[in-house]
Amino acid sequence: MKITDLKCAIIGKNPIVRIVTDEGIDGYAAVESYKPYLKPHVLHLRDFILGADPTNVERVMMRIRNHGAFKPWGSAVSAIEMACWDIAGKAAGLPVYKLLGGKVRDRVRVYNGSVRFPLTDYSPEDYAENTARMKASPEGFTIIKQAIGFHSAMPRNIPNFYYGERQASTHHGQWEGGPLTDRGLNHLIACVEVIKHVLGDDVGLALDCGPGMTVPDAIRFARAVEPYNVMWLEDMVTGDYTPHVSAHLYREVTRATSTPIHTGEQIYLRQNFRELIETRAVSIVGPDPCDVGGIAELKWIAEYADLHGVLIAPHGTGNGLLGLAALVQVSATLPRNYIAFEYPIGTPDWWKDIVVGLPDPIVQDGFIEVWDRPGMGVDLIPEAATAYLTDEDREFFE
C-alpha cells in the first residue's frame, strides 16, 4: 500500500486531514478546531509522505516528526499520524486499539471538556449556577472541569484581581498573568468552595487555572483548596500555547501541596515530557493527541508516566468527532494510571450528521463504550459533508 495524496479541508471549525492510498482505503483525522490557519502546514508535509506505506506508521512519522513543535505546530504531524492509524486499522479489519496492544478497559471515562455553558460575571454565585447546569447534563459526567483564574475572563471581570497590566491579545492562547492580590486569591478560593458545594461528593472537580500564576501564588492556592479534594489544578504556571515545559517550577508547586498538579496539553513529543515525569514535577500529565504527535506518542507517554507513579488525563476539548474517536481508541489501551479524557464535541452541531459510527448517545453515565469497528471506527459521509465544504476545498473527496 502506498500514499498517493494528502488533502486538508476546513470542515466546520476543524482542519480535516485525508490520506489517500492506491488501494482505495482513506484515513481521516482532525486538527484542533482553534487552528484553521494550519491547513498550509498540513499540506506542506504532503511531499514528504507520498509513496510511503501508511500502515508502517512509525516509518511515516520518521519522515515528518522534525517538522513539528510545541502547540500549535505539532498538530499537522499529529493529524497525519492518526490518519495513518485509521488506514492501518481498516486495512487489517481491526479497531485501532487492537493495533496498539489491545484494550484494558471496555469503556473509557470522560470529563465535560466541550460541554460548557457561558459564565456572566465570574462570581461565586455565577459558578454555582453554571456548575449545577453541567452536573445536570445528560452525559452524567463523574468529573467536571471549570476554567478559573487566568484561564478565564475572571481577571477582566473582577477588579484588582492581580498586580499586572493586561496585554492586548488577538490570538487564542496569549494569556495574561501576574501576582494575585489578596482579593484575587480569596475570590478564587470562594469560587472553588461553592463549586464543590454544588458537586458534593458525587462528582469530582478539576480546575483549569492558567497559565499565568506565579509559583508562590500557585502554592498558596493549591494549599488553600486542599480541604476540597480537588482532582487537579491544571496549567497554573505554564501550559496552553507555552513553548516550554518549566518542569523545575512545577516541581516546586507539587512538592508543596497534596493537591494534584496537572500540565502538558501544549507539549510536543515524548522527549519533552521526560523531565516532568522523571522528577515527578507534576502528579498528572495531559497530552493532547492532536498536539503531542499522535496516539502512539500519547500511549508511550502514558506508559512511561505509569512507571513513575504519574497519572494521565489527556486533553482534547477542540478535537472534534474524529479526534474523539482517536481518544477513545487510545484511551482503551492505556495503563491503570488513566483517569479520563477531555470530551470533545462536533461544532457546529451539524457535524453529527456528516459522520457515521458514533454511538447514540455517545456518553452514558460519564463513560463511552469502546467500539470495535475497523480503524478509528468513525468515517465522514462524503455526500453529507460536501455541502459544508468551501469552494477552495470542493475537491477534498475527489
Whole-number pLDDT of residue 165: 80
Strand pairing report for 232-234 and 204-208: parallel
End-to-end CA distance of the chain: 19
Whole-number pLDDT of residue 229: 97
Whole-number pLDDT of residue 211: 94
pLDDT, averaged per 10 consecutive residues of the chain (398 residues), comes to 98 97 98 96 98 98 98 98 98 98 98 96 98 98 97 94 76 74 98 98 96 97 98 96 96 98 98 98 98 98 98 98 98 98 96 97 98 98 97 96
Angstrom distance (rounded) from CA 325 to CA 60? 21
Whole-number pLDDT of residue 79: 98
Whole-number pLDDT of residue 174: 56
For 149, 152, 364, the CA distances from 158, given in Å and listed in that order, are 10, 11, 37
CA triple 221-145-198, angle to 5 deg: 85
Whole-number pLDDT of residue 168: 62
Grid coordinates given for 65: 516528526
Whole-number pLDDT of residue 176: 83
HEC profile for the chain? CCEEEEEEEEECCEEEEEEEECCCCCEEEECCCCCHHHHHHHHHCHHHHCCCCCCCHHHHHHHHHHHCCCCCCCHHHHHHHHHHHHHHHHHHCCEHHHHCCCCCCCEEEEECCCCCCCCCCCCHHHHHHHHHHHHCCCCCCCEEEEECHHHCCHHHHCCCCECCCCCCCCCCCCCCCCCECHHHHHHHHHHHHHHHHHHCCCCEEEEECCCCCCHHHHHHHHHHCHHHCCCEEECCCCCCCCCCCCHHHHHHHHHCCCCCEEECCCCCCHHHHHHHHHCCCCCEECCCHHHHCCHHHHHHHHHHHHHCCCEECCCCCCCHHHHHHHHHHHHCCCCCCECCEECCCCCCHHHHHCEECCCCCCCECCEEECCCCCECCCEECHHHHHHHCCHHHCCCCC
Grid-cell match 484553521, residue found: 36
Contacts of 265 (CB under 8 A, 6+ apart): 71, 235, 239, 240, 286, 287, 288, 291, 315
Contacts of 31 (CB under 8 A, 6+ apart): 14, 15, 16, 17, 38, 42, 75, 76, 78, 79, 290
Whole-number pLDDT of residue 171: 55
Tell me the domains of the chain and their CATH numbers.
3-94+381-393 (3.30.390.10), 98-374 (3.20.20.120)
Angstrom distance (rounded) from CA 325 to CA 96? 10
Grid coordinates given for 5: 495524496
